[in-house]
């Protein structure tokens, strides 16, 4: 049975998982979920993921949600010796930390400032900008103190996939990263040294950039907790 990834084409968590699948040369079927149509909010989708969030992996009937868990699972099952998710306890702990830092702190702040106002009835505020700059400052500190080429090591790990997918949201809204030179260097290094992976990420970034210019109409979506904008008359 072919592995399936239920994903959204411009969703950073989906992009991160797609980069792992590509890196490990795992064949899979990409099933694009129509976010604007609310396909992820259906009861049918909830059978795979009661959280009704994207992405979801279907590995021969084993359904797994949450991008971090999916990336870890793919490495553990299909490439246990891969440096993408190192076996050494200390190295793996740093990777795990960066994954958690991204989801709970870095991407959380970036998404609230960049993505939420594009798709839902939220505004970019001084406070949301302050949170983004705080997250960037912390990541800059980790890169400085770690002294590594990539986010968790001198080699690429799954931590980079999540962090790159978050950072591209800022590029999509033309956010100035120049005050954070180590982040800039890390981001450009990823692009330069991993062109095939960047093509995956760039496709999502370009979609977000287009939505930034022309926000989609989600007024018909009955989202359980995000406020939707009223349609323009």
What CATH number was assigned to the domain covering residues 89-213? 1.20.1050.10
Longest distance between any two alpha carbons in the chain, whole Å: 58
Helix, coil or strand: residue 225:
coil
Beta pairing class for 62-65 and 28-32: unpaired
The predicted structure's pLDDT at residue 18: 98
H or E element that contains 18: helix 12-23
pLDDT at residue number 222: 75
CATH 1.20.1050.10 segments of the chain: 89-213
Calculate the CA dihedral of residues 188, 113, 224, 45 and round it to 10 degrees: -10
Give me the pLDDT at residue 231, please.
62
Per-residue model confidence (pLDDT) at position 182: 98
Instruction: Indicate the DSSP class of residue 48.
Output: T
Per-residue pLDDT tens listing for the chain (233 residues): 789 999 999 999 999 999 999 999 999 999 999 888 888 989 999 999 999 899 999 999 999 999 999 999 999 999 999 999 999 999 999 999 999 999 999 999 999 999 999 988 889 999 999 999 999 999 999 999 999 999 999 999 999 999 999 999 999 999 999 999 999 999 999 999 999 999 999 999 999 999 999 988 777 777 777 888 776 65
Can you give the pLDDT at residue 109?
Answer: 98
**86, 91, 82: which is closest to 26 by C-alpha?**
82
pLDDT at 2: 87
Protein fold of 4-79: Glutaredoxin (3.40.30)
70 and 99 in contact (C-beta within 8 Å)? no
> Which residues on adjacent β-strands are paired with residue 7?
32
C-alpha dist (Å) from residue 131 to 16, 46, 135, 137, 229: 22, 32, 6, 10, 24
């Amino acid at each position: 049975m072919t592995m399936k990834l239920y994903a959204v084409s411009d969703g950073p968590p989906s992009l991160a998982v797609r980069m792992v699948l590509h890196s490990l040369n795992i064949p899979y079927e990409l099933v694009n979920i129509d976010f604007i149509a609310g396909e992820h909010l259906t009861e049918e989708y909830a059978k795979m993921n009661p959280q009704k969030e994207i992405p979801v992996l279907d590995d021969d009937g084993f359904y797994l949600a949450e991008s971090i868990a999916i990336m870890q699972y793919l490495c553990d099952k299909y490439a246990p010796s891969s440096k993408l998710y190192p076996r050494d306890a200390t190295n793996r702990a740093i990777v795990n930390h960066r994954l958690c830092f991204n989801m709970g702190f870095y991407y959380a702040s970036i998404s609230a400032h960049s993505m939420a106002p594009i798709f839902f009835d939220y505004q970019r505020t001084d406070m949301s900008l302050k949170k983004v700059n705080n997250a960037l400052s912390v990541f800059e500190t980790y890169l400085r103190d770690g002294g590594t080429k990539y986010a968790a090591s001198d080699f690429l790990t799954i931590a980079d996939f999540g962090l790159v997918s978050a950072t591209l949201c800022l590029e999509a809204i033309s956010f100035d990263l120049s005050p954070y030179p180590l982040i800039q260097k890390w981001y450009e290094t990823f692009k330069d040294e991993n062109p095939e992976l960047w093509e995956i990420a760039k496709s999502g970034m370009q979609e977000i950039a287009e939505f930034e210019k022309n926000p989609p109409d989600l007024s018909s979506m009955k989202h359980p907790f995000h406020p939707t904008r009223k349609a323009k008359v």
